Structure 1
Amino acid sequence: MPGTVGRVPTPSAPAPTEAPEPTDAATAVLAHPWGDTPLGPRERWDPAVRAVIDVVLASPVPMCLLYGDDFLLLYNEGYAEVLGARHPAAIGRPAAEVFADVWHTPGAAEVIERAYRRGEPFLERDSTLPIHRSLGTAGRVAFTRAHAAVQDSAGRIVGVLSVLVQTSQVTQQLQSLSDFAAALAGTLTLDDVARVTLRYALGSFDADRVAFAIDEGSNWRTVRRVRGELLDEADERLPPLWRRAAGDSAAPAIATARSGVPFLITDGQPLRDNAVDRHDQKIRALAALPLRSSVIRGALAVGYQEAHVWTGAERALLAAAVELVGQAAERARRFETQHGTAQLLQRSMLPEHLPAMPRLRIAARYEPGVDGNAAGGDFYDAFTLPSGGLGVVLGDVAGHDVQAAARMGQVRAALRALALSDPRPDAVLGGLDRLVASLGTEADTHELFVTVVFGVIDLESQQVTLASAGHPAPLIRRCAPDGTGTARYVDLPAGPPLGLGCRPGTATVPFTAGDTLLMFSDGVVERRCKDLSAGLDGLAAAVAGAGSGDPRALCAVASAAVPGATEDDVAVLAVEHAVRPSRSASMEVPAEPTAPSRVRHWMTGQLTEWQVPEQVIGAAVLCTSELTTNALLHAGTAARVAVDLSPERLLVSVADSGTRGTVTRAQTDTLSSRGRGLGLIEELSDAWGTDPTVRGSTVWFEILIPADRPGVAGGSDG
């Protein structure tokens, strides 16, 4: 009768095969005293039955053999995880005892009995069963379960093989992997790739620690996330906090990236010799897989604070994730290389330093449009004239390629040469018109489109004279006695663009103490499917409502005045006619651990000497310390702290001369600091922003001086 099982007789088959590599559950199963059960001692197991047991114990999928009439349990590590607290006492015990609370409920014993008595296989997908809810698994977990009869060498049914696949977990992981791929598709830089990867790996693998490593030439840089790390929305916008490592570092993620060989440990101290803090010291299980890319070397590491057996499904999921990360990192490395080259070309054709004049404060800002991956034609310049006046210019050469940038360089150089000879704005643009026409003839094109606005500021007459060739008229912000501001566009005839026989008219308007002139490119105000007048009105309102006429703050305000993304470059130049000369001082900050404390000491002494209010000193010192720490951590180079004090405000800037990788992102809503630093700057300052430079970047903030302290600034430089 099929299914009638007694003690299995001693087989006449060959000697038993070697047991599979034991896991904890396999070791316990093989050590169980089977000689006291119907299965008999291991050396007398039927070859067919032993083969099934070998498969069960070696499989990464949860599997169990229910042997004999009593359905004695033999199972692997995967099934032991499902059993939870019932393991290891369940080994060799009847299923009816192990699952006494649910054995006789529908869908439990009956299907196993049919497989055993009748040889009927059973398969059910996505079922939530009482037998599995009793196994200690949290929540309503769905399984695909299969039962099949097991025969011995004589063809007798001696047991039932049960296989479980937790389909809810598989479905969630596959969906998570799909979402991960979509998120990586939207990344541009390695910062973006690292941020998305760390967030996914920590959540999808329910890990205690994840780390990402990439090469940086002969050295490496790594970034990590740990469980319980509180990150708010602001933190998620920020570039990750990279740590640099030597090329021969033995850290598992770096060793894996360097060798291309995966690293896997289920229990030990994998980070003992490379731990940076207690989070690393607690890690016992770690898996690190290398990126598969010909462009970039790197690795992703996932760790746990408890011993962890890496199942086949986990390894496959991790391998799939790393494959996606490798592709995204390769794209990002290519993008950053092109992006950095384009920006360096662009900025190398712009003035690296603007003039320093006692009564004029000058600032400029440039942001590449499109995807930021091409050089553009927007340009600005400011320079002193032989007469003592200041020449200011902002222009736009159509195009977003190297040729546009080269033509921009020609136009800018020619304009300065013409202005130094004859500074009258109409004469300068007239000569420039002839140059552009000549360039168009030389290139055999009628599509050389160049617009320019040029002005001369004369402090003696307190006037500015302007001329435009097809360019938007500048704004002048005037400050009322009560501190409020107004902003109006200069009534300036635009005329045709250069190269078309331009004969521009001029306009001369007052430019008195407290006024600020703002020149801008059309990328500041133009938005797709929106009326240009709305953009111009929005810019004027934003400039009028600014807290002060400080040129650096106004450049940031103007860049963000019109909502929506622009596809064009953005260039802004602002010049303030100061009420009184400001005081300024600067400090070079070495890349040393003690640098932030030195900066705090220096700033406190300098601002105290200038009689700055105590509440302003405290806020400024704290913000500067955060920015200095940020610059040293992320750029890894020396920094320069500069302070500028006027009667209305204190302006502090921290400039670095390097980047975290090959490019520094320059959006005003991105600060390369941790969430605490960003919160401090936003809370304690009246305005802040980031400015790109030819090398590195500058982060600045402004704090307004209380109106009852009129004697704060004035005099010579400090």
Structure 2
Amino acid sequence: MPGTVGRVPTPSAPVSGAPAATDAAAAVLRHDWARTSLGPRQSWDPAVRAVVDLILASPVPMALTHGDDLVLLYNDGYAELIGEKHPAAIGRPAADVFPELWQLPGVGDVVERVYRDGGTFLEKETAFPLSRGDSGLAEQAVFTRGYSPVRDGNGRIVGVLTVAAETTHVTQQLQSLSEVAAALAGTLTLDDVARVALRYAIATFDADRVAFAVDEGGGGWRMVRRVRGELMDEADERLPPLWRRIPTDWPDPLVQSARTGAPLVVGSGQPLREAAADRHDQKIVSLAAVPLRASVVRGGLSVGHHAPRRWSAAERALLAASAELIGQAAERARRFETQHGTAQLLQRSMLPEHLPDLPRLRIAARYEPGVDGNAAGGDFYDAFLLPTGRLGVVLGDVAGHDVQAAARMGQVRAALRALALSDPRPDVVLTGLDRLVASLGAEAGTHELFVTVVFGVVDAERQELTLASAGHPAPLVRRCTPDDRPYAEYVDLPTGAPLGLGARPGVATVPFAPGDTLVLFSDGVVERRRQSLTAGFDAVADAVARAGSGDPRALCAVATAAVDGTTEDDVAVLAVEHAVKPSRSASMEVPAEPTAPSRVRHWLTAQLGEWQVPESVIGAAVLCTSELTTNALLHAGTAARVEIDLSAERLLVSVADSGTRGTVTRAQTDTLSSRGRGLGLIEELSDAWGTDPTVRGSTVWFEILLPSG
């Protein structure tokens, strides 16, 4: 497609749906697009409408070819370029408008390839014959051309953007607009949207400071910023953004723009003088802030520079288009977070928030939602004391990933506990539970109520474990040889049929000596696509055997991560360790205030010193705990709870928060920034660590093995 060099007129910036002052823009807005692949103008996709606004506002020759027939839409600069072909070219297929050029190498074939494959194309100083003026004679014109795919709000390619003349920088900006649309299409949470928005804005506008804000939903705002020069590596990008809560009337231009719905531009001055948080804000001289223009979520995006800046109409249109795309993504994220939070709260509220605290039996559990994470699942676990003083343990799976599955899970779990408290024999409990599930299936009019469960009774005095299973994966026990070499073996237990099918569960009683650990898990732990179940079971047994200790919390994390690849199913693990000696434990409530990490360090040092823990372990534990406490206060913004548990083998420390900003993952330990430094230290100084979701918030823990002797 043609391009040109030389001066072109500068049109004024159009407003979506409003008449424009320029000739080409007015012709575009008058055109009957209902007869083309674009459809009626009022039904245009927000991302496409944003690109059209940007084209019509730009002084640079630009055109959009849309749909499979590549119909043309362009601005004044492009109209001057094609001469007498305007205005008849508007809304016509590009191949019909330029028959003399379309078949030439590097013209039509390039446009069609970009539309088909999503790549980009830039070629400078290429001569093409183009008919101009009344004579109709072809002349050689030199063009610089750039082509980029245009994507809709869902990330699908719907057209090709052509930029003509010397417009390398503009081409990059428009290409980045397409890229940000694709990136935003894959976001799920507001944290994801913020990361994409900040990364895009600071690169596209060559900014020194960018900020993104959304309303809190009940008064006030949440704002996050990014400053040029911050150390942001791949691991930092995955950390939850450091949101700052600010009041409704905060004097930042970003908040004013978000509140009023009108853009604010300061070309030179001190736009953040009254709202500056630090020297980074104070150094900003020019700033542009635009509202998100979303229907439900209020918010805004601001871009600041250290030097005075004249914001052109095209740059303002680009910023407004970016904010509209970000606003659409923010609304999707807000809906997802609401659904996700409801589903997860329902799921976890049906699981025990606290497991029994026993002197000789240490218990831990872990639950992780499947890949979707936006639905309640049917995996469940429980551990409770029986009237005889023994411990009942259960892990089960109700098929399904919806609220109904979670509700049935709650019914099954409650019924199992009631049956066990009446008669704890595992086969009797599962037989009674089978009748309940059959009744629930008949009541629901379905034969698809698929429930598997394993139930066991742990007798620490007799050092034995009695188990029964109804269609569930076999339990695993970690043991040690006489010379203290750990190994893991599956209990030889008849699997039986799932509940509701007339189950006749078999029973197995096996030794459970001090030092042994029982591990129960759901099939999501071992099942992977294109991998046999046998390989999954072997991987879990091998990982549990190779773990540094038999601590149940560590083994839950080890079992969960043992099999490579992702699972679309929920994952639940319950582990019970028969301790060699009773452990000692203590805890501290940590207020959300700046002095909290220091108070934790003093408390932990004194407590571990009183327990005569080796100095080398105390030093490592204090450093790791201080960093975890700081991380919890920063990212959750709530009070935290530090718990320590000391056994003959290891020291276990956990820090729990009640926030909901996301969890820390192992992938984040490589970061070198101050925000992730603690996680790297934990990886280096501890023997095992992990993160566990709770009913509200998350718990990060680490384990340090004690020197022998």
Tell me the equivalent position of 2:558: 557
Q: SS of the counterpart of 1:446? A: coil
Tell me the equivalent position of 1:531: 532
**Does residue 650 of the first structure (1) align with residue 657 of the second (2)?**
no
Encode CA deviations 1:560-587: one digit per residue, 9 max, x unaligned.
Answer: 1111111111000001111111111101
Encode CA deviations 1:470-525: one digit per residue, 9 max, x unaligned.
Answer: 00011101134655421111111000001111111111111111111000000010
Residue 345 (structure 1) shift: 0.4
Give the counterpart letter for 1:200 in structure 2: Y
CA distance in 1, matches of 2:289, 2:482: 65
Give the counterpart letter for 2:616 in structure 1: Q
CA distance in 1, matches of 2:482, 2:622: 30
Tell me the equivalent position of 1:76: none
Give the counterpart letter for 2:636 in structure 1: A
Tell me the equivalent position of 1:454: 455
Tell me the equivalent position of 1:124: 142
Call closer, same or farther: CA 1:667–1:522 in 2, change over 3 Å: farther
Call closer, same or farther: CA 1:232–1:480 in 2, change over 3 Å: farther
Tell me the equivalent position of 1:42: none
Bigger mean CA deviation after superposition, 195-204 or 481-490: 481-490
Residue 313 (structure 1) shift: 2.3
The 5-angstrom pairing of residues 26-45 of structure 1 reads none
Residue 556 (structure 1) shift: 0.9
Encode CA deviations 1:51-88: one digit per residue, 9 max, x unaligned.
Answer: xxxxxxxx98599xxxxxxxxxxxxxxxxxxxxxxxxx
Tell me the equivalent position of 1:206: 206
Give the counterpart letter for 1:171 in structure 2: T
Tell me the equivalent position of 1:29: none
Give the counterpart letter for 2:526 in structure 1: V
Call closer, same or farther: CA 1:565–1:413 in 2, change over 3 Å: same
Encode CA deviations 1:243-284: one digit per residue, 9 max, x unaligned.
Answer: 111222112222221221211111111111111111111111
1:479–1:549: 8 Å Cα contact kept in structure 2? Answer: no
**Does residue 371 of the first structure (1) align with residue 372 of the second (2)?**
yes
The 5-angstrom pairing of residues 397-408 of structure 1 reads 397-408=398-409
Tell me the equivalent position of 1:290: 291
CA distance in 1, matches of 2:213, 2:679: 25
Tell me the equivalent position of 1:569: 570
Residue 674 (structure 1) shift: 2.1
Tell me the equivalent position of 1:418: 419
Q: Matched residue pairs, number?
A: 561
CA distance in 2, matches of 1:304, 1:121: 44
Residue 675 (structure 1) shift: 2.1
Tell me the equivalent position of 1:222: 223
Call closer, same or farther: CA 1:220–1:480 in 2, change over 3 Å: farther
Q: SS of the counterpart of 1:478? A: strand
CA distance in 2, matches of 1:255, 1:409: 47
- Where structure 2 has 5 or more consecutive residues not aligned to the other structure, the ranges are 1-11, 13-56, 62-124, 126-132, 147-161
Give the counterpart letter for 1:125 in structure 2: F
Tell me the equivalent position of 1:98: none
Call closer, same or farther: CA 1:169–1:469 in 2, change over 3 Å: same
Give the counterpart letter for 1:699 in structure 2: V
Residue 370 (structure 1) shift: 4.0
CA distance in 1, matches of 2:184, 2:244: 22
Tell me the equivalent position of 1:488: 489
1:464–1:511: 8 Å Cα contact kept in structure 2? Answer: yes
Residue 312 (structure 1) shift: 2.1
Call closer, same or farther: CA 1:380–1:668 in 2, change over 3 Å: farther
Call closer, same or farther: CA 1:566–1:60 in 2, change over 3 Å: closer
1:369–1:568: 8 Å Cα contact kept in structure 2? Answer: yes
Tell me the equivalent position of 1:177: 177
Give the counterpart letter for 1:546 in structure 2: A
Tell me the equivalent position of 2:195: 195
Q: TM-score, normalising length from structure 1?
A: 0.75
**Identity of matched residues, %:** 76
Call closer, same or farther: CA 1:311–1:677 in 2, change over 3 Å: farther
Residue 439 (structure 1) shift: 1.0
Bigger mean CA deviation after superposition, 428-437 or 607-616: 607-616
2:668–2:679: 8 Å Cα contact kept in structure 1? Answer: no
Higher-Rg structure is 1
Encode CA deviations 1:578-613: one digit per residue, 9 max, x unaligned.
Answer: 111111110111111111111111111111111112
Give the counterpart letter for 1:595 in structure 2: A
Q: SS of the counterpart of 2:585? A: strand
Residue 292 (structure 1) shift: 1.6
Q: SS of the counterpart of 1:413? A: helix
CA distance in 2, matches of 1:455, 1:397: 18
Residue 290 (structure 1) shift: 0.9
CA distance in 1, matches of 2:526, 2:633: 36
- Where structure 1 has 5 or more consecutive residues not aligned to the other structure, the ranges are 1-19, 21-58, 64-106, 108-114, 129-142, 146-164, 709-718
Residue 196 (structure 1) shift: 1.4
The 5-angstrom pairing of residues 512-551 of structure 1 reads 512-551=513-552
Encode CA deviations 1:155-212: one digit per residue, 9 max, x unaligned.
Answer: xxxxxxxxxx542112212222222111111111111111111111111211111111
1:666–1:691: 8 Å Cα contact kept in structure 2? Answer: no
Give the counterpart letter for 1:537 in structure 2: D
Call closer, same or farther: CA 1:317–1:481 in 2, change over 3 Å: farther
Encode CA deviations 1:689-713: one digit per residue, 9 max, x unaligned.
Answer: 11111112111111121223xxxxx
CA distance in 2, matches of 1:298, 1:704: 49
**CA RMSD after TM alignment:** 2.3
Q: SS of the counterpart of 2:540? A: helix
Give the counterpart letter for 1:126 in structure 2: T
CA distance in 2, matches of 1:602, 1:166: 66
Encode CA deviations 1:641-688: one digit per residue, 9 max, x unaligned.
Answer: 11111121111111112223xxx3576656899222221222222221
Tell me the equivalent position of 1:622: 623
Q: SS of the counterpart of 1:125? A: strand
Q: TM-score, normalising length from structure 2?
A: 0.76
1:539–1:558: 8 Å Cα contact kept in structure 2? Answer: yes
CA distance in 2, matches of 1:495, 1:60: 71
CA distance in 2, matches of 1:522, 1:122: 69
Give the counterpart letter for 1:216 in structure 2: E
2:60–2:167: 8 Å Cα contact kept in structure 1? Answer: no
1:126–1:168: 8 Å Cα contact kept in structure 2? Answer: no
CA distance in 2, matches of 1:666, 1:630: 9
CA distance in 2, matches of 1:342, 1:614: 45
1:350–1:381: 8 Å Cα contact kept in structure 2? Answer: yes
Encode CA deviations 1:209-249: one digit per residue, 9 max, x unaligned.
Answer: 11111111212111111111112222122111111112221
CA distance in 2, matches of 1:121, 1:318: 38
CA distance in 1, matches of 2:443, 2:664: 36
The 5-angstrom pairing of residues 388-399 of structure 1 reads 388-399=389-400
**Does residue 579 of the first structure (1) align with residue 580 of the second (2)?**
yes
Call closer, same or farther: CA 1:348–1:400 in 2, change over 3 Å: same
Tell me the equivalent position of 1:686: 687
1:582–1:645: 8 Å Cα contact kept in structure 2? Answer: yes
Tell me the equivalent position of 1:697: 698
Call closer, same or farther: CA 1:463–1:226 in 2, change over 3 Å: same
2:360–2:578: 8 Å Cα contact kept in structure 1? Answer: yes
CA distance in 2, matches of 1:219, 1:484: 58
Encode CA deviations 1:366-396: one digit per residue, 9 max, x unaligned.
Answer: 1111401111111000000111110000000
Tell me the equivalent position of 1:477: 478
CA distance in 2, matches of 1:481, 1:322: 66
2:235–2:668: 8 Å Cα contact kept in structure 1? Answer: no
Tell me the equivalent position of 1:51: none
Encode CA deviations 1:503-555: one digit per residue, 9 max, x unaligned.
Answer: 11111111111111000000010012221111111111111111111111111
Tell me the equivalent position of 2:432: 431
CA distance in 1, matches of 2:697, 2:622: 23
Q: SS of the counterpart of 1:380? A: strand
Call closer, same or farther: CA 1:350–1:261 in 2, change over 3 Å: same
CA distance in 1, matches of 2:591, 2:175: 48
CA distance in 2, matches of 1:404, 1:370: 17
Tell me the equivalent position of 1:328: 329
